[in-house]
Amino acid sequence: MRCERREIPILAPRVGEEEARAVSEVIMSGRLVEGPKVQAFEEAFAAMAGVRHAVVCFNGTVALHLLWKALGIGPGDEVIVPSMTFISTAVSLLFVGATPVFAEVDRHTFNLDPDDVAKRITARTKAIMPVHYGGQVAMMDELGEIAASRGIMLCEDAAEAAGAYYKGRHAGSFGSGSIFSFTPSKNMTTGEGGMVTTDDPALAAKVRLLKNHGQDREYHHVEMGYNYRMTEMQAAMGLVQLERLKGTLEIKSRNARFYDRALSQIEGVTPPFVAEERNHTYMLYTLLVDEEKAGISRDELAGRLREKGIQAKIYFPPAHLQPVFRELGHREGGLPVTEGLAGQILSLPVHSLLTEEDLQYVVGSFTAIVREHRASRTK
């Protein structure tokens, strides 16, 4: 039976009347920036993440900038990061004059490969920053051991991982400091928004200083700072979203299991891998398409899905091959695992507003496209 064509976006934030009321109440209060809602959001998020301090800011990219500045990362320093990430992870290091050193990822989880990280440490390495790809925590024990043995910092880009756990600990509670993002693509959103988390009170104080013009008191600026503050409207929305987070993740997990059952039956298609002692929060549902076994290329499949209204996307093109990093001397072939995976990864809509009919349409369309393509190749 042929289904009627549907339009299914890759992202659809779960927001509604509660968020609208919360924002409206703030507007009517007249207190719009860095007030009680910001404080409440910081406290609630810190409690959820299991850390002593959480500092909000305008978005995840500036959270990275603030973290590097507060940690004293600067010119001449190197930080090891994955290439399979959004560009901000690496380009934020350029903001402070430091150098991103790209390392390989694990073939299954798409998170930093500790063995490859260890090979890339030099006398200039100051930190390692894994990215919890798609909402699954990286190999923090192994990376932590490497960092501790070499006397360097371990940080986390947990932008995609609110609600993710590893051995009972929440993402963002490992190492020196971590960041989160609350853009509409994330499992909880404030429109734009970011957070720095840490157990270090001095680091938290430094981040607060830097994000508010370097003021230690009103109109007393002790160093160069920035206006990276969060609005009360964003924080009010964040409090509602934080309450929604558990339910959102439960829905996304059910959606992912639906995909897993259906798509794992297709030769050449590998659903997301979930490592031991972790959950997966499915900010992204990223599978692999092996052209030789599936009988269709990833790009052809993605294009056909989009023709049917299904917004399949690639998260992410390798950062090390972006033009902004050409001066660092990166060329194709430098990270063969990452580059190989980049030609096979494909993310499907998994957001919490999908209906059962939507899921069936995605699976039915995906299966039909592969079957039809295989049939055409055998004629």
Which residue numbers are catalytic? Answer: 186
Instruction: Write the CB contacts of 180 (distance below 8 Å, at least 6 apart in sequence).
Output: 45, 60, 63, 158, 159, 161, 162, 172, 186, 194, 195, 197
Q: How far apart are CA 36 and CA 39, in angstroms?
A: 5
Q: How far apart are CA 372 and CA 379, in angstroms?
A: 11
Q: 13: phi > 0 → left, psi -120 to 50 → alpha, else beta; which?
A: beta
| Nearest partner of 188 among 275, 251, 254, 259, judged by Cα | 251
- Can you give the chain as a three-state secondary structure string? CCCCCCCECCCCCCCCHHHHHHHHHHHHHCCCECCHHHHHHHHHHHHHHCCCEEEEECCHHHHHHHHHHHHCCCCCCEEEEECCCCCHHHHHHHHCCCEEEEECECCCCCCECHHHHHHCCCCCEEEECCECHHHCCCCHHHHHHHHHHHCCEEEEECCCCCCCEECCEECCCCCCEEEEECCCCCCCCCCCCEEEEECCHHHHHHHHHHHECCEEECCEECCCCCECCCEHHHHHHHHHHHHHHHHHHHHHHHHHHHHHHHHCCCCCEECCCCCCCECCCCCCEEEEECHHHHCCCHHHHHHHHHHCCECCECCCCCHHHCHHHHHHCCCCCCCHHHHHHHCCEEEECCCCCCCHHHHHHHHHHHHHHHHHHHHHHHC
